[in-house]
A and B are shown apart, each in its own frame.
Chain A
C-alpha cells in the first residue's frame, strides 16, 4: 500500500531563509507525487508535480522539489522564504490503480518570521 510521511507538522523559518519541507513516500510502483499549498480558509492549490520526466521539478512561487528514488523522498524547497509563503503544505502520492486517488500526508504548517 502506498503511504506518505511528512516530517514536522510545524516549521518556522526567518524571512529570506531557506525553506525545506520533508516528504517521504512508500510505493511498490513508480509513484506520481504532488505538493499542494493551502492558505487559510481556502482550498488546495497545486505547487508542483513529479511526472518522471525530470527528478528536479520546478513549481510556482519559486518552489521546487527533487525526487530521490534511493531515499524515497520528494522534499520541497525554496531558497528564500517570503512572508506570503506562510501556509499549510501537503505532499500527496497518486494511487497507481487507475482511479488516481490521492494519499495525503498530514501536512506541514509553515510559519515565516519577520
Chain B
C-alpha cells in the first residue's frame, strides 16, 4: 500500500517556466489537499478537493491551479514560475464524509516535492 505518492521529489525551474506536480493516492480517499511549507511558517493550504470534479481555494492559491478528474489524482500546476514559489510542496488525503469517525480522521501526507525557482 503506497499511500500518497508525489512526483518529482526535486525540481529546479527557471522563472516563467511551467510545471505540474503530481500527486496520487491509492486509499480511495475523497478529500485531497495541497500545502506549501516554508521555513518558520508551517504549512499553508494552497488548494483542496472534496471529490472528483470539485476543487476550492485554500489560504494561498495565487499562482497555482489544480484539477481533480479522478479520485486518485490531484495534480498541482504552476503556470508562470516565480521565485516566491520556491518551497516544499506536500500533498495529503483524508477519507472524508461517510467514513467512520469522519471528523477526526487524520490526513495522510506524501514525502513532498522540493521546488527551486531561479
Q: Which of A's residues lie within 8 Å of B, judged by CB?
A: 9, 32, 34, 36, 41-46, 49-52, 90, 94, 96, 98-102, 104-107
- Contact pick for B90, options A9, A44, A96, A105, CB 8 Å: A44
> B106: which of A41, A49, A96, A106 is its contact (CB, 8 Å)?
A49
Contact A98 B97 (CB under 8 A): yes
- The CA of A72 and the CA of B16, in the complex, are separated in Å by 45
The DSSP consensus for interface residues of chain A is loop
Q: B45 interface residue, CB < 8 Å from A? A: yes
Give the number of residue pairs across the A-B interface with Cβ within 8 Å. 63
Interface-side segment among B69-77, B78-86, B109-117? B109-117
Give the chain A neighbours of B108 by CB distance below 8 A.
46
Beta-carbon contact of B106 and A34 below 8 Å: yes
Q: Which of A46, A90, A100, A107 contacts B103 (CB 8 A)?
A: A100
A99 and B104 contact, CB distance less than 8 A: no
Distance to closest chain A CB from B13 (angstroms): 20
- Tell me if B40 and A9 are in contact (CB < 8 A): yes
Residue B58, interface by CB 8 Å: yes
Residue of B92, B97, B104, B106 most packed against chain A (CB within 10 A): B106
B8-67 interface with A by 8 A CB criterion = 31, 33, 35, 40-45, 48, 50, 56, 58
